[in-house]
Amino acid sequence: KGFSSVNFFLSLYRFQAFVYFASVFQAMSCGIHYLASVFMAVTPNFVCGIPGNVSSVLFYNSSESSLEDIWTSWTSTEKYIVVQLENGEIWELNQCSRSKREMNLDLAYEYKGNKSVFSCSDGFLYDDTKWKSTVVTQWELVCDREWLAKLIQPTFMLGVLIGAVIFGDIADRLGRQRVIWFTSTSQFVFGIAVAFTFDYYSFVIVRFLLAMVSSGYLVVAFVYVTEFVGIKARTWASMHVHAFFAVGIMIVALVGFFVRTWWVYQICLTIATLPFVLCCWMLPETPFWLLSEERYEDAQKVINIMARWNKVSTPCKVSELCSVQQDDLVGGRMGDNDTSSTKKHNILDLFCNWHIARRTITVWLIWFTGSLGYYVFSLSSVSLGGNEYLNLFLIGAVELPCYIIACIGMDKLGRRNTLIPFLILSALICVLIMFIPQDFNILIILANMAGKFSIGVAFGLIYLYTAELYPTIVRSLAVGSGSMMCRVGSVVAPFCVYLRSVWIFMPLLLVGIMALLSGILTIMLPETLGKPLTNTLVEATEMGRSKKSCSGKTPPAHSGGALDKIEMFGQETVSTEK
């Protein structure tokens, strides 16, 4: 009780502190690459190219000698620019077409005569006052190729989904250490490679691979730090991984402000995480994975290193840990007549009865809504008006306190009682933003920050809550399937943002509806604060039907003498929730 962020840092031993901060530092690179496209793939103002040298430019009543001087007056993509060439020809330039006036009279904006319409065969002219170069201007992803630009972020998120599945499984087979080495190094290699891609398709492919290794690192890093920190610090440790991800978003805003050429911008973002690539080789394998693979000598070596770092004179012996764990397992099996723990389970077990099925649907919806809202608020921040770099920086910064509030709320009010008000609050904020006048930029930005804050609390909380809602035999399935719904939400989010072209408030409306529905359905979920983890589906069902469900009947899933033995090293039993 009363465990705070300060206590979290104090609770870490020297060795665990080194491993923890070294691991979560690289989580910044995940935040960087996930949101890098907001400036790299931006579409500036543009018009159709012209077949000659310009002598005069006219936009309404503004007349300039060059096209570059007219962009400051450009206010609507539906308007056209009139240019006069040195040979006397007068052209009207739209975004995706151009018209040649048949009668070369005095240069005027309005013209009632005949025109010949042509396609943009001479390319396009872009406004480079803000961005010197983006992938859109590099490969002219506008007009009939605009859909290619809109696929950049969704394909990246698809790579995130696939990477989470692949590397999560590989980490269980080959170890956490090797996957962390490979994914962190690959992030740097692919991050640099993106800057030197020669066309759109190679750019998308390399970014897809970058997404896979970034997602793989983030998934495995959660498991890695969980297996090294102590039980009391588990919640705060997982939350602070999210916080470092948010710092990555803030770095994107800072680098985007200073670097306006997309490939230089990409290199700078990638180099920001070079220190971890140089030191990640010092990170050890987790003792629990080594024990699960029966590599007892290697596990003992890691424990001895931990003891030396933490100045423990008598490190525990692997043989003692194994004997205590074996006794715990035997005792647990003798006290449990349910043979379901020995059979293989699949996704259908999450729908074994009405109560569990309703719980699963609700949990999946919360995962989806949390991810959808998180990325809609983040990706939309650069379109709110005002300084887009400051907007993104603030959207990232607001996450830092939200995870602290989430941890305090979970410990003081409970998981459900914290989740419900923040989901409903995020829905109300979405509605509120729709009624704010569009010229009130500061108020709109503050409201979006509040929306990101509230949805961030829900998004961070659902990881632990899901693990506590399901029994040991399907806990991994439950969290894994929820994580998949989270990835689906991240894939859908960019398309949701693109609906701003249909109606500016359409993304907020969709997020608001989903958040309100999720908040209402969460009322039917049981509270798990202070309750022991359940072991069977029967116990999990009873937890949802009776307030006195399993309390005092079912021992916690992570109890046992072995746990007491290794607490001094900041360790805990491998959590199946990852």
Do the Cβ atoms of 48 and 144 come closer than 8 Å? no
CA–CA separation, 490 and 373 (whole Å): 9
Q: What are phi and psi of 172, to 5 degrees?
A: -70, -30
Put simply, whether the predicted model's pTM sits higher than 0.85 gets the answer: no
CA–CA separation, 172 and 66 (whole Å): 61
3-class secondary-structure state, position 125: strand
Residues 183-215 pLDDT 10s: 989 999 999 999 999 999 999 999 999 999 998
In angstroms, the Cα distances linking 125 to 78, 117, 148, 202, 250 are 16, 18, 19, 24, 31
CA–CA separation, 239 and 221 (whole Å): 12
Residues 115-161 pLDDT 10s: 888 888 888 988 888 889 999 999 999 989 999 999 999 999 999 98
Domains and CATH numbers, the chain: 15-44+132-283 (1.20.1250.20), 46-129 (no CATH), 350-542 (1.20.1250.20)
- Which residues touch 218 (CB under 8 Å, ≥6 apart)? 27, 30, 164, 241, 245
According to the model, what pLDDT value does residue 47 have? 87
Residues 60-88 pLDDT 10s: 766 666 677 777 777 656 578 888 888 88
- Mean pLDDT, rounded, for 221-239: 73
According to the model, what pLDDT value does residue 343 have? 57
pLDDT at 560 over 80: no
Residue 513's pLDDT band (cuts 50, 70, 90) = very high
According to the model, what pLDDT value does residue 467 have? 78
In angstroms, the Cα distances linking 466 to 329, 399, 458 are 24, 21, 12
Cβ density class 444-457: b for 16+ within 10 Å, e for less: bbebbbbbbbbbbb
According to the model, what pLDDT value does residue 426 have? 94
